Amino acid sequence: MNKKINTDIEILKSLNPEQQKATSHINGPLLIIAGAGSGKTRVLTSRVVYLIKNNVLPWNILALTFTNKAAKEMKHRIAELIDLQSADRVWAGTFHSIFARILRSEAELLGYNPYFSIYDADDQLSVIKKVMDLLQISKQQYSPQAIRAVISSNKNKMMSWRDFLKTADTPFDKKVVEVFKEYELYLKNTNAMDFDDLLLNMVKLLSLSNEILEKYQNKFKYILVDEYQDTNRVQYHILKLLAKAHQNICVVGDDAQSIYRWRGADIRNILDFQKDYPHGKTIRLEQNYRSTKTILKASNSVIKNNKNQIEKALWTENHEGDLIDVTECEDDRKEAEYIAKQVMEKSNKGLMKKDIAVLYRTNAQSLALENSFRMRSIPYVVVGGLSFFKRKEIKDVLSYIKLLINPLDNEALIRIVNEPPRGLGKTSIDHLSAFGRHKGISLFESFEIAEQNPNLQKRATKASKRFAGMINKYRELISSTSPDVLAKNLIEESGLIEMYEEISTDDSSDRLNNINQLLTDMSLYFNSNDELTLNDYLQQTSLATDYDEKDTSQDKVTLMTLHTAKGLEYEQIIIAGMEQGLFPLIRSEFSKDEEEEERRLFYVGLTRAKENLLLTYSRKRMKFGEVSNQIPSRFLEEIDSELLNFPNRRALTANGGRNNKKMNDFLSSLSNKKTPSKKNWSSEKKSEYNQIPQEENYSQINPTNERNDNAHLKVGDKVQHSSFGIGRISGLKGSGPKRQAVVRFDTVGRKMLMLKYAKLKIIE
DNA sequence: TAAAAAATCGTTTTT
DNA sequence: CGATTTTTTA
C-alpha cells in the first residue's frame, strides 16, 4: 500500500482545484456542496482512494450511498485505482444494507435473533391490516395505507407510539396510535424489522452502552455520505453518534436536488452541518462538466423560482448546445408515439439507444411508452416499477425460505400456507392463530400441534400437520445441504411449480419463468462463495432494487421515473407528461413546499441531460379510465423562452387550453353520448385548474336527464354519511353519475365521495 | 373451501 | 381502466 503514496499526485492531477481540496482533506468534518454534474461521485471515490493511500485502513472507512448500485460502482472504481482486496474491505453500501448487516451480528443485544426478517412496505401493510382486524378497527373507515404512512413518518422522526400519543388529537390519529402500538409488538414477536427499524435500531444499539458506541466509532474512523440532502433525521442521529469521537465525517449533497422530503428527508441535516461541526470545512463544487450551456441555463432559470435554497452559481465550460425541444401532443398515446419516433430518428442519426432515457413523474405513465416502443420494436428497459423481488410468485418462493429461516415470521407463513391451495383457508388460519394466542405459542407451533386444537376440522388438522412437517423436514436439512439445492427441493415439494404448470396460461408461464430465474440466480449466488447462507441471500434480496441490476451492455432505451434518474446522466433526456397536475403533481397545488420539491425534481430531470433535452406534454390524457383535458405544466413557462424550440408556445401564453375548455367539454360530451354507458359526461378531473365555476359550466350543457338525488348539494352544506358521520362539503366536481363531493368529516377528515354511492343526507 | 362474480378502490415518488 | 377486495354461489 505504501509504495503507492507517491502516486497521490496522479489522483489529484485530473481534478480541478476545489475537487482537489475536497479529495485531499483527511481529518475533520467536511461539507461538500456539489452542484449537479460537478463530479461529486468522482470526488467521493478519489477521497476514499486518497485516504487509503495515506494509510487509512480500508475497513475503517464507512461510505454510505443512496443505492446499492452506487456503492458497487464506487467499490469498482476503488478496485481499479488500488486493488480489489482493499476495495472489498471498505464498508460501502446503503444505510439500510450496512446497518442490517451490523444488526444481524448484534441482534441479541436488542432482543431480536440474528435471523430476523426484513419487511418491506407491502409486508408492513399486510401486518397493519391484520392488526386492524385484531383491534376491530374498520379498514373501510380508516385507510390502512394512510395509517402505514403515518406510522412510518413517525418512525422517520424518531417518534414512538408513546410520543405520538401525546400529540394525537383527531380520532384518526388516536386509531393510529392503537395500531402503531400493536404493530410494533407484532413485529417484535415475529422477529421482524421494517425498513425504518433498520435505522432506528441502529440508534438504539449505539445508545446501549459506551462500549458498543466506541466499538463502532473505532470501526468507522472515516465516514463519507453521498446524497446527504436526502437523509432523514434518524440517519442524521446515527451519523452524529458515530462521528462524535473522531469527527472525520465528510458529507456530499446538493440541496437543489433534495427530492425525498416526503419520505422523511430533512433539509436541516445539510443546513445544520456547520452548526454541528463548527470547525468543519465547506467546499463548493460549482463547475458542471456534464451539460451544455443551454441546459444549464434552463435548469438555473427553473430552480431560481424556489425560495428555499442555498445560493450557488453553477457554470460550465461546455459548448452552447442545441435549444431544448418542447412538443405538444394530442393525447398520451400520440405522445408516446411521438417519443418513439424521435428515438428512432436520433438513433438513425447515430445516437446509441442506451444514451437515451425517457423520464416521467408516475410509474403508470410507462405503459403507453412501452406499448409504442414495442410497436416499433425499439429495445427498451423499464427501471423500477414493479421490481422482480416484489412480484407475487417471487415473494411466495422467498417466503418459503423466510419461514425456514425465521419460524416466527407469520407474514411469510400466512402468505404461503395456502399457496398452492392446501385446504387451509381463512377460517382454519383464524382458528390456528386464536389457538396460538391462547396457548402463548407462535402460529407455526400451533400448526405443529394442530391435533390439540378443538375448533379445527379434521381435514384442516391433517393439512396443518402436513405443512408443518414439510417445513420442519427442510429446516433440519439446512446444515447438511447446500442452500440452493435445499431451496429448489423445498419449492418443488411445495407444489408451487406444479400449480403454475397446471394453470398454463400466459400469465402463469411468466410466473413459472420468474421462479426458475430466481432459482438459477440462487445457484449462481451460492456457487460464487460457499460461505454464503440462505440468510445472506434473503438479506440481499429484501434490500435489493431492480435498479441495482441495470445492464449497460445492451443498447436499450431506459424508461424510469424522475426519482429513479437521480445520480444518472444521458446524452438525450426526454421528459414526458409536462402537464399541470401531473408534473407538478396535483397535490403540490396546495402547498408551497411540495411545489418546491416538484420543482427540484424537474431540476434533477433537466440536469441529467448532457447534450439534448426534449419535453413533451399532452392535451388529453387517459386517467382513471377516462379522458381528462390537460394544461401544459407551469414549469415550462419558467424556462427562458430563448432557450426553447417550442412551436406551440402560444398555447401557454394565449391560454388556449382554458379558453377552449368549455367548447372541448361540450364536444367531448357529445361524442361520448353515442355510447350509452355510464360514462356519458366526460368528468372534470382537472377542475381545480379551470377558472370557470364548475356547477354553472355544467348545468348549462348538461340536460338533467340523470336522476340524481344529490343534485342540489352546495359547497358549505352540512351532510350526514352512513359510516363517516357528519361533515361539511368543501368542494364539488364532476357531473352526472361521476359527480363527486369533497367532504370534511368531523371524525375521519377529508374524503372524496362519489355522490352516486355516498347517499349523503343534508342536515342544514 | 374455492372459484366465480360483483363491488370498490385508487395514483406520486422508494431505501 | 385495472387491480384488489368482498360477496355469492357451488
Q: Closest nt to A122 (CA→C1')?
A: B14
CB proximity A590–strand C (7 Å threshold):
no
Q: Closest nt to A679 (CA→C1')?
A: C1
Q: What's the whole-number mean pLDDT along residues A292-321?
A: 91
Known catalytic residues of A are 40-41, 226-227, 257, 608
Helices (H), A406-482: 410-416, 426-439, 443-448, 458-477
Q: What is the pLDDT of residues A665-723, one digit of tens each?
A: 333 332 332 233 322 222 232 222 222 223 222 222 232 333 334 555 555 566 665 55
Instruction: Label residue A2 exposed, middle or buried (CB < 10 Å: 0-12, 13-18, 19+).
Output: exposed
Asked which of A21-35, A109-123, A412-426 is least confident by mean pLDDT, the reply is A412-426
At residue A718, what are phi and psi to the nearest 5 degrees? -95, 130
Q: What is the pLDDT of residues A623-647, one digit of tens each?
A: 877 788 888 999 999 999 999 998 8
136-175 of chain A touching strand C, CB 7 A cut-off? 139
CA of A135 to C1' of C5 (A): 20
Q: Which residues contact A237 (CB under 8 A, 6 or more apart)?
A: A158, A203
Cβ neighbours, 10 Å, residue A214: 12
CB proximity A426–strand C (7 Å threshold):
no
Residue A547: predicted pLDDT: 58
Burial A342-360 (b: 16+ CB within 10 A, else e): bbeebbeeebebbbbbbbb
Cβ neighbours, 10 Å, residue A668: 15
Residue A111 has pLDDT above 70, yes or no: yes
CA of A346 to C1' of B9 (A): 42
Residue A272 has pLDDT above 80, yes or no: yes
Do strands A740-745 and A749-754 pair parallel, antiparallel, or not at all (unpaired)? Answer: antiparallel
For residues A326 and A227, what is the distance between their CA atoms, to the nearest angstrom? 30
CA of A671 to C1' of B8 (A): 28
Positive or negative torsion for Cα A590, A592, A594, A597: positive
pLDDT band at A549 (very low <50, low <70, confident <90, very high): low
Give the cell for residue A249: 465525517
Q: What's the whole-number mean pLDDT along residues A547-554?
A: 64
CB proximity A757–strand C (7 Å threshold):
no
Q: What is the pLDDT of residues A43-66, one digit of tens each?
A: 999 999 999 999 999 999 999 998
CB proximity A716–strand C (7 Å threshold):
no
Decide: A166 and A159 in contact? Cβ < 8 Å: no
User: What's the helix, strand, coil split of chain A in %, to 5?
Assistant: 55, 15, 30
pTM of the full structure = 0.81
Which of strand C's nucleotides are less than 7 A from any protein C-beta? Answer: 1-2, 6
Average pLDDT taken over every residue of chain A = 83
